[in-house]
Amino acid sequence: MSRRILKTLFLAALIGSLWACAAGLTAVSSLNAFSFTAGNDVSFTVDFQGGEFAWLEGHDIATGDYVIEADVITLKASYLSTLAPGTYAFTAASTAGNATLSVVVLDEQNQNRIYNGGFETGDLSGWTAQTTFKGERDLLAFVPEAVLENTAIPGLLIPFGGAGDYVYGFTGTGTDAWTEKTGILTSRVFTLGGTGWITFRLGGGRNPDFSYVSVIDAETEEEVARYGNANFLETDYLTDPDHYFGANLAKYKTDLSALLGRNLYLCIVDRGGHAWDYLTFDAFETYHATVPESGTLAIDIKPTFAAIYVTNQIVNGNFAAGLTGWTASGSAFRVADGILRSDEGGDAATGILRSGLFRVDGSGVISIKIGAAQGARFDKDTYVSIKERGTNEELFRLANVRHDGNTLQIYYVDLSEYLGTECYVEIVDNASGSWDTIFIDDVITYYATTPEYDFGQAGSDLNS
């Protein structure tokens, strides 16, 4: 903790009411001020005069927001960080009477900042982790034990290069047991203020199609910006340490001033499951009074579409015109004999192919033919994703569960709950082993009435 923060806390403690009496009980705290930057708990010693503690109330505090040990009541930083700057009184009730606990929440532009953006609590306080595949918690990429001391990367002599005492790294040594994990880590909401610039540090994430940081509008859920680790570069650290960026952290800055005053939140996304798909990160600072000088200017890579009027059928869904109407990332995709294949250069090729927009209409059912895509982890690595325009959220994920060599299998997907929604299709190949290639044909996104199909042809959502 810096001397400036300590001095501010000390002065606030002197100004605040350290002693409070009610019904004969007293409460004392050596430091009753909460600093958003320091993320400190606030503790009080209460003289219960032989009575027993009953409850603590005030400002919607809940049982999990504080800890009582003997005669010491500790208000957790995770709760205090939700309060606006000001002075707050809490009542500690006991069988012998009540005591008032007075807490000062310092004004450090709290509403404009992410709590625990630098993980200085040593855990994921202030962040929420969720899975991206079948709800499998064992495959979750974001766990508290991966918050590490800001020293050397596990198994290497290379420093992380974080800003404070902690960074978000990984468990183990970054081997396949860790890299196959996926997930989304979401911050609390903040109001963009100051200059509108934000800064952060990223490592890993070699392929920004699968691993990135998103900025989301909290009111509309629109993805307003997306950033990958553009500085990723595996050189020889011993001979070229200045240009090596693997799991160590690169500094970034970006100008979001066009969004000043809007309520936003961050999502750290890991949808990959192979070498270097995982992300390391630190120092998310969303308030700058002046434009930051250091850091690489981050480039917005979110999907964009020019279409004003969106029809109910995507362009070139049968690939008769090659890749016209589709946008490729990577060099895996080609069209041969009227069928899309992700094997340009062999099964080791990877990438994403994104369609144009379509509007869910008619029966709401769409269909797609899929072949191959039967590698060891086909349902995680080679699949079709249906996403919503604007939010870019995945509405449905489909894999070739009936794979039969190169034979194309037809799948029907019921999107009727999204009628009127503008969507797009992403075809994903993120694996390089045998049979880790995907064949696609006849993407039909409009049926006026529900087509007839059997249970085996019904697409199963891998996210449910």
Q: Give me 125's structure tokens.
A: 């306080």
Residue 244, SS3 per DSSP? coil
d(CA 223, CA 210) in angstroms, rounded, equals 15
DSSP 8-state secondary structure symbol assigned to residue 456:
G
HEC string of 213-230 equals EEEEECCCCCEEEEECCC
Task: Tell me the HSE value of 464 on the side-chain side, using a 13 A CA sphere.
Answer: 7
DSSP 8-state secondary structure symbol assigned to residue 9:
H
pLDDT at residue 173, rounded to an integer = 55
Find, among 220, 190, 212, the residue nearest to 117 by Cα: 190
Residue environment code for 246-268, b if the CB has 16+ CB neighbours within 10 A, otherwise e:
bbbbbbbbbbbeebeebebbbbb
What's the average pLDDT block by block, 10 residues per block, for the chain (464 residues)? 45 39 65 92 93 95 95 96 96 93 96 96 95 77 94 89 95 65 95 98 94 98 97 84 90 98 97 87 98 97 91 97 95 94 84 96 98 80 95 94 92 98 96 83 98 94 81
Parallel, antiparallel, or unpaired: how do β-strands 334-336 and 339-341 relate?
antiparallel
Dihedral, CA of residue 16, residue 20, residue 26 and residue 30, to nearest 10: 0
d(CA 284, CA 208) in angstroms, rounded, equals 18
Q: Which domains does the chain have, with CATH numbers?
A: 3-108 (2.60.40.10), 111-297 (2.60.120.260), 327-457 (2.60.120.260)
Task: Tell me the HSE value of 77 on the side-chain side, using a 13 A CA sphere.
Answer: 21
Q: Give me 428's structure tokens.
A: 């994903």
Q: Give me 116's structure tokens.
A: 């625990």
pTM (predicted TM-score): 0.89
d(CA 182, CA 210) in angstroms, rounded, equals 10
Find, among 145, 173, 170, 150, the residue nearest to 160 by Cα: 150
d(CA 43, CA 76) in angstroms, rounded, equals 9
Q: Are 386 and 415 in contact (CB under 8 A)?
A: yes
Q: Are 284 and 240 in contact (CB under 8 A)?
A: no
What one-letter code names the amino acid at 220?
T
What one-letter code names the amino acid at 441?
D
Contacts 24+ apart (CB under 8 A), 395-400: 395/421, 395/423, 396/459, 396/461, 396/463, 397/461, 397/462, 397/463, 398/368, 398/370, 398/459, 398/460, 398/461, 398/462, 399/370, 399/373, 399/462, 400/370, 400/371, 400/372, 400/373, 400/374, 400/438
Locate all alpha helices (DSSP H) within 303-425, ordered by sequence: 378-381
DSSP 8-state secondary structure symbol assigned to residue 299:
P
d(CA 15, CA 161) in angstroms, rounded, equals 38
Return all residues near 238 (Cβ < 8 A) that are at least 6 apart: none
pLDDT at residue 175, rounded to an integer = 53
Name the E strands within 241-294.
250-255, 263-270, 279-285
97 forms beta bridges with 94
pLDDT at residue 379, rounded to an integer = 78
Please state the φ and ψ torsions of residue 321, each to the nearest 5 degrees.
Answer: -105, 35
